[in-house]
Structures are given as C-alpha cells and as structure tokens.
C-alpha cells in the first residue's frame, strides 16, 4: 500500500512538492510528529490530504498502524513474490511448482551462507542500524530510576523514558521497531548492557536461522515413484472419460 501511494502521489501531486512530506508523515513514530508533517502537506495540497484521509491512516503510517511492521513499510508481500515468480507464469503447473521449489532452495541456501558468516546475536541489518545510531547515542545524559528503567536527556533538555526489558522508549521508535533507538543505546551502553540482548525476539540471529532450517527436498525421479494401484486405476479411468467426452 505504502509503495503504491508513494508512486501515485509523486505522479498526481508532483507540482505541489508533497512527496517528502508524505514520506516523513508515513514514517513518523509519534502522533505529534505525524500531525506536523500532515498539516504542512494539507496546506500545500488539500486534494492530496483528502486522498490520503480516504485511504485510511492505518494503511500507510507507522503512527496509526495497529500491528507489528518489523521495520517494513510495504504490506504487499504477494506482489513481491509474484515479481520473483514472473518468469514461471507461462509454465505448465508441474514445471511452475518445480521452479518455485528451486527458488526457495536458492533463497534458503543464500540465507544459510549469510548466517554462517555472522558472529553477532542479531541479524546483519540490525547490526548496521546500531552502527548508524552509535555516534548519536553518546550525546545524552543517562540516569537510572528503576530496574531496567532510565531517563535519557538530550543536550536541548528533552527527556526520554527508556525501559530496556520491555523494548520501550517515549520517542516510540524503540517501542514500534523493537530495535534500540539512540536513547536506548545510550542507556544500555552507559550501564554496561549489551544492546543486542534487548531487541525484539524476531531480530535475533537464532530466530532468523531457525526460519529456514527445514529441508526443501529435490523432486524424485518419476521412474522411482511407485503409484498405488487404486490411484493408477482412477487416473486411467479419468483419462478415458475425457477421451470419450
């Protein structure tokens, strides 16, 4: 939904210069930040504002989405899979299934190779996110006021409440993504806690690895497959019935 809206807005409302505001509103974590960007967008193009309101905020924003996004803005996974399988669309059904099996085998093998090279507790994408936020995390003052609870204060005096064992921060980024934000990183590092141990479970390398451990077996040689007699007779009768028809 998000990618389709982004494309539609960049084409239909290009002259109003609202694409960047749409992007900022869609990815905002707090309601007040969303409202700031969306108000400016509406001021530039009331038509675009109305269009997005009719779509429904829950379909394209982080702020109003009711589930877990896992840091993924698109919801059209079937479209992404269709793009992967486009080459097989013209194949007969048996060959299409074989093509799908081979694609899955390649994907599983690639992910297994990726995991074998990783020495972290989390996936490489989360590690990269940590590296991006690490410089910013050193600019905060941190105070502990309860088990796993911290007050993180910026140089401008803005306070954030971080609870590491609940993956929560009042900036809402950590709360929504379950990946420590710069405030959570500051608290964890200040008190000697490994930030990689306080991420959402689904970002752990072990969970990622477990998701593709099942074997995708090759297709057996048809000459080695024994078809039960009742099924064989059923198939022959169906074939003869089609010939008569």
Whole-model pTM? 0.74
Based on the domain organization, do 47 and 112 belong to the same domain?
A: no
Tell me the pLDDT of the chain (245 aa) as tens digits.
667 788 889 889 988 899 999 999 999 999 999 999 999 999 999 999 999 999 999 888 999 988 776 666 655 666 677 777 777 777 888 788 888 888 888 888 888 888 888 889 999 889 999 999 999 998 999 999 888 999 999 999 999 999 999 999 999 999 999 999 999 999 999 999 999 999 999 899 999 888 888 877 777 777 787 878 887 777 767 666 655 55
Q: What is the CA radius of gyration of the chain?
A: 26
Is 67 among the domain residues? Answer: no
Domain stops at, among 67, 94, 117: 117
Rounded CA separation 172/169 (Å):
5
Rounded CA separation 237/153 (Å):
78
Based on the domain organization, do 129 and 104 belong to the same domain?
A: no
Based on the domain organization, do 109 and 139 belong to the same domain?
A: no
| Cα angle value 16/17/22 (rounded, 5°) | 110
Q: What is the domain count for the chain?
A: 3
Based on the domain organization, do 130 and 195 belong to the same domain?
A: yes
Based on the domain organization, do 100 and 133 belong to the same domain?
A: no
* Residue 168: domain span: 124-205
């Amino acid at each position: 939904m998000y990618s389709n809206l982004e494309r539609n807005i960049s084409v239909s409302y290009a002259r109003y210069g609202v694409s960047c505001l749409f992007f900022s509103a869609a990815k905002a974590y707090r309601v007040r930040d969303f409202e700031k960007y969306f108000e400016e967008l509406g001021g530039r193009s009331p038509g675009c504002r109305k269009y997005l309101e009719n779509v429904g905020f829950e379909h394209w924003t982080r702020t109003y989405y009711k589930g877990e996004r896992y840091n993924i803005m698109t919801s059209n996974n079937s479209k992404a899979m269709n793009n992967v399988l486009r080459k097989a669309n013209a194949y007969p059904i048996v060959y299409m299934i074989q093509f799908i099996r081979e694609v899955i085998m390649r994907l599983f093998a690639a992910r297994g190779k990726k995991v074998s090279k990783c020495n972290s507790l989390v996936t490489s994408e989360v590690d990269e996110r940590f590296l991006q936020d690490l410089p910013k995390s050193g600019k905060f003052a941190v105070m502990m006021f309860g088990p796993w609870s911290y007050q993180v204060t910026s140089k401008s005096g803005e306070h954030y409440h971080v609870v590491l064992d609940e993956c929560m921060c009042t900036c809402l980024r950590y709360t929504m993504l379950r990946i420590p934000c710069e405030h959570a990183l500051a608290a964890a590092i200040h008190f000697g806690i490994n930030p990689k141990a306080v991420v959402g479970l689904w970002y752990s390398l072990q969970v990622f690895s477990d998701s593709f451990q099942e074997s995708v077996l090759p297709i057996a040689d048809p000459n080695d497959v024994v078809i039960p007699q009742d099924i064989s007779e059923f198939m022959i009768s169906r074939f003869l019935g089609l010939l008569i028809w």
